[in-house]
Amino acid sequence: MAGVLREVTAVRYVTPLRAGGSVPGVVEADDLGTYVVKFTGSAQGRKALVAEVIVGELARRLGLRVPELVLAHFDPAVAADEPHQEVQDLLHASAGLNLGMDYLPGARDFDPEVAAAFSVDPLEAGRVVWLDALTANVDRTVHSSNLLVWPTFGVQQPRLWLIDHGAALVFHHRWDAADPEKAYDFRHHALGGYGPDLRAADAELAPRVTEELLRAVTAEVPDAWLAGEPGFAAPDDVREAYVRYLCARVAVSPAWLPTGFPTAEEREAEEARRAARTLKGRPAWLKRVPDLHGKPAAAQDWSVHLDEKG
């Protein structure tokens, strides 16, 4: 089964991004585009890329904004000047087909500072939370939003863009225990403070998640990333398992629709309690160690990474 994701070839490795454990890299490709590439050789493995494709392309077809995904052919030779050995090891383990996401120059992470000055419509917030609940994406929280704010041509206010879905579809790590009715804790979702209208989102989106749509989405995943999955004879069998599970999950959406988002004040109080418990459990000498980390790397402007190497 073949999808329609464009294929590009990396011609220049610009810089690694160390904001996450997978260490993606900014690359320039033969179509003159610039992409953030996630590599098959990362610790998260191919299933993270499968989740990126299925959830990202499902989001796009449901009308949410996701940077274009491409299949990126990568030859480690284009990164011969990369000085860090651990990055070189990753790149050499990733020769061949990887996943690229269109680089959005000037985009900012949806961190607390940005969120405080940003307005999100309750229905848009509901759509994002609904998608994350459907696909069991547990990695879009107030601590790690995996959202970007990016100006769109002709639009006065910057818009939200969804990125980094590799932690979604958690059920595919244990197919034998997959439960379509399972509810997840989304109280600390990045958009929980915007009054997400989950009922309206469910009424709008659930009827659109059909077998036909899911088969089109899973067709985008390369065979090589699905081959050898334990318990399945062929890549198409794995695709069918994703289709069956997500269809079953949509059919029981009342069982997993998130509810009960805390207010900003409640989140702050909980964070204060958590910090106090953490501090209480530390030895006396460690309590005096200052915070040396400052602003997390994930909260930096993506364009900074390009400025470093040109």
- What stretch of H or E contains 69? strand 69-74
Place of tokens 């999100």: 120
The residue among 65, 87, 92, 50 whose CA lies nearest residue 219 is 50
pLDDT tens, residue by residue, 168-216: 999 999 999 999 999 999 999 999 999 999 999 999 999 999 999 999 9
Q: Are strands 69-74 and 7-16 parallel, antiparallel or unpaired?
A: parallel
pTM as predicted: 0.86
Alpha carbon of residue 6 to chain centroid: 19
pLDDT tens, residue by residue, 243-302: 999 999 999 999 999 988 876 677 677 677 767 777 777 676 555 555 444 444 443 454
The residue among 83, 94, 105, 107 whose CA lies nearest residue 10 is 94
- What stretch of H or E contains 263? none
Mean pLDDT of 117-144: 95
